[in-house]
Chain A
Amino acid sequence: MQTGHRLAPSHVPFSLNFLLKQTPLPSTPMIFLSLLRHELRLQLRRKSEGAALILFFLILLILMPFALGPDPVLLARVGPGIVWIATLLMALLSLDRLFVQDARDGSLDEMLTAPVSLEKIVAAKLLAQSLVLLGALLVMSLPALIFLGLKPSILPILGIGFALGVPSLVLLGGLASALTVALHRSAALLTLLLIPFYLPVLIFAVSACEAQAMGAETGAPLLFLGAILTLLLPSTPFIIAASLRHNQG
């Protein structure tokens, strides 16, 4: 360990000291909760990055009326699709916060050698990332509603879609960024890898909104979104942990 080296407060490397002080080690759920709290605190500390992500989302929404024309009927019809594309791109941009920064500042090595299973740490990180993205979307749904002239009746469907879809986006994104963490410049590669896997989420989320707009049954597409999430939830933390271990050689 380097001594006398001070790190900027926004880049506190991952450290399990806060857990290890307690002997004996706390029970599994308690460990997970501490990890989650730790990750959330780290996420919320990177304020300027978070603000940049939120502004990116907002700017995408504002660009659309210029590209498509300000016709309110058209905007209301394509609005949910625009919101979802902006969400998708925001999720893609936020991937840098998952493992790339950890690899850069050495936290990843700490995670790999930690006395807590890597899968647990990964799951906590993914959950924290999903919660932060969902929080940002909650804040942004009002401007989206106003700028795109969406009907308030679409909000519940959009909200359920976010709650089921955004964690899937984060889980898939975690997979791709774990695979590419050893490469330093990987933004374009990440996009190429992820878009095929993001497509089903986008399709079902938008078709739920469309069904609602036409007064049809919204259950089926939302159930598909839930099915995607239930498929990913138990498997991805393990695959991510395995590929993080592999990538470290």
Chain B
Amino acid sequence: MGWVSFFANPARFLRLARFLIPLFSLGAIVAFAVGLYLALCASPPDYQQGETVRIMYVHVPAAWLGLGLYVAMAVAAGIGLVARHALADLFCAAAAPVGATLVGLCLATGSLWGKPTWGAWWVWDARLTSVLVLFFLYCGYMVLRGAFEDEAQGAKAGGILLLIGVVNIPIVKFSVEWWNTLHQPASLLRKGGAAIAPEMLHPLLVMALAYALYAGSMILIRMRTVLRARKIALRREES
């Protein structure tokens, strides 16, 4: 468990953040510029869906990151509960609004994409419903954690909720295979390799990188803000 406690030092975290935040932010700007150009201008329209396929470049990375951040938060919550890691809960609290926004973006763009292709803004299929549940899990976590006056208590309760909510993650991932859904099945991580043309895959991957860098820099900034606020509060108490 050495590596876990290595990052538990707030001073070490702040030194790392000072270096990583500009790196991630600049990286996100560059990746968004390249990714959006490739996605909106340089990539071909779909032979079936035409230009609407371009929603994919916004929709799919948001879904990936929304799902991935939840898993990361659950892992951090587990570490926080077991190892009493000083920064684990801070990460969860900082990542929750980012993850919720991404899942919300995924639902909104999915709805916009559903109207022209399926003819409905919303259908009650397994993938859509399970992602909606994921959104409520994020909201529930944020409300639960914020409801406690004592922050340590809120962290524990929220962490337990995050761990319980992990059951929803495989349901989101495999909902398109377990049930007959309107939502299309996975085309990237599937048996027999990716079923997507390279000229569409590359912009998608660049966009995913851009989202990841953006989320990373946002989370680091939010964590640093909380640490600084704590430091200010401590100084005030002293004086």
Contacts and interface: CB of A to CB of B under 8 A. Distances in A.
A178 to B, nearest CB: 9
B102 to A, nearest CB: 18
B79 interface: no
Given A243-B156, A247-B156, A249-B153, A193 B147 contact: no
A193 B146 CA distance: 13
Contacts of B140: 189, 192-193, 196
Given A179-B144, A246-B157, A247-B157, A196 B164 contact: no
Given A196-B133, A196-B136, A199-B129, A180 B168 contact: no
B227 interface: no
Contacts of B165: 196
A218 B154 CA distance: 42
A172 B201 CA distance: 41
B120 interface: no
Interface residues of B, number: 19
Nearest to A185: B147
B144 A196 contact: no
A7 B165 CA distance: 40
B160 interface: yes
A220 interface: no
Tell me if A's interface is mostly helix, strand, loop or mixed: helix
Interface of A: 175, 179-180, 182-183, 186, 189, 192-193, 195-197, 199, 239, 242-243, 246-247, 249
Interface in B140-162: 140, 143-144, 147-148, 150, 153, 156-157, 160-161
A177 B165 CA distance: 15
B156 A193 contact: no
A195 B160 contact: no
Contact of B144 (A189, A199, A249): A189
Given A182-B153, A193-B161, A249-B150, 14 more contacts: A179-B157, A179-B160, A179-B161, A180-B157, A182-B150, A192-B136, A193-B144, A196-B133, A196-B136, A196-B137, A196-B140, A239-B164, A242-B160, A247-B153
Nearest to A194: B140
A96 B169 CA distance: 29
A27 B147 CA distance: 41
